[in-house]
Chains A and B, each alone.
Chain A
């Protein structure tokens, strides 16, 4: 029982749950926005799990999501979205959520981890999430 696992459970129920709801109905644009939210939350979830279980090796899962998550969203943006999907609902929330979510998760983790290679890895994941979030927002917005 610790605060990191509690936060992970909260993120799973209050973050990934609504993202699934958004991805199962409605127009493709809305679904892809929800999918992008889900990959971001998943990355943060893995970071929290790694800290909560005390297993630094689990951070690798977050690293892989931070590079493959945006790639998946770009696949959908390229092959699923058309002209009619421009500016889908919810897309303007993507960048603010990415920035606040990443900062709120990665910075406390860096503080607990202390200086060293593990912190550099966390910061790299944070930067990848921010870059991926900004770019996928633009790609989805274009339709």
Chain B
């Protein structure tokens, strides 16, 4: 395919997309208006399935397949980063010097770690009830461990963070989502269909498969972020050399 032809194909695709977007934009309800046809249907569907947080109902029930795609994007992005940031030939690792941290900061770090961890788990667990869910809570959980680096010392972080275990957690979270989807097929419905009992509206166990998918995403995101930061930290603090790159 010549360069000219490729540019032509690209231009045609871009123009068609632009035309579609412009056409869709003209049909949008006015900003701040009272007419929300999509929102009304989404709210109705989420109430019918006893999920108080409509956003979670959309993410993990009505459009659960899209979320599988998003989860896979994060999974593959972290995988790519792990490959790129590996220790290459000619590089060696040196343990960084221990940090001198004032005792008050160290105490805060050690006390704030469980509180932050609990906040993250709370956000994951209440995904079907209040704002938040697996992604938001997972990020908070992963940040909690890194309080040990910013408030205590890098070696303290390394002690609570066996990277191999979190790599398994990352994969397990992704696999759990896929398998939960297959559960819908086993029950005789569609892939990722909400086949579990919906439970009592407004309780932790409500929403059928929503809390389970939420937990799978929470496991995947928290592990993925820990693995990602582990490689960033290793590159910035430990890995030395590597001058002889081609």
Which residue numbers of A lie inside 8 Å of B, CB to CB? 57-58, 60-61, 63-64, 67-68, 70-71, 74-75, 77-78, 128, 131-132, 134-135, 138-139, 142
Contact = CB atoms under 8 A, between A and B. Distances in A.
Given A77-B150, A132-B108, A139-B105, 6 more contacts: A57-B131, A64-B140, A70-B108, A131-B111, A135-B105, A138-B102
Nearest to A127: B115
A74 B147 contact: yes
Nearest to A73: B150
Nearest to B129: A57
Task: Name B's interface SS.
Answer: helix
B112 A67 contact: yes
A53 to B, nearest CB: 12
A68 B143 CA distance: 8
A67 B150 contact: no
B119 A71 contact: no
Interface in B135-182: 136, 140, 143-144, 146-147, 149-151
Nearest to B119: A67
Contacts of A142: 102
Interface in B115-141: 115-116, 119, 123, 126, 129-132, 136, 140
B104 interface: yes
Contact of B116 (A71, A77, A138): A71
Contact of B123 (A60, A77, A138): A60
B131 A75 contact: no
B104 A64 contact: no
B108 A64 contact: no
A70 B112 contact: yes
A68 to B, nearest CB: 6
Contacts of B99: 78
Smallest CB-CB A-B distances: 9 pairs: A57-B130, A74-B150, A135-B108, A67-B116, A78-B150, A75-B150, A67-B119, A139-B105, A74-B151
B115 A64 contact: no
Nearest to B118: A67
Contacts of A58: 131
Nearest to B111: A131
A5 B102 CA distance: 40
A78 B152 CA distance: 10
A131 B109 CA distance: 11
Contacts of A63: 119
Contacts of B108: 70, 131-132, 135
A59 to B, nearest CB: 9
B3 to A, nearest CB: 43
Contact of B104 (A60, A67, A135): A135
Contacts of B150: 71, 74-75, 77-78
A138 B104 contact: yes
B102 A71 contact: no
Contact of B131 (A60, A67, A68, A134): A60
B222 to A, nearest CB: 14
A61 B131 contact: yes
A138 B147 contact: no
B147 A64 contact: no
Contact of B119 (A64, A75, A139): A64
A71 B143 contact: yes
A61 B126 CA distance: 13
A71 B147 contact: yes
Contact of B146 (A57, A67, A71, A132): A71
Contacts of A74: 105, 109, 147, 150-151
Contacts of A68: 116, 140, 143
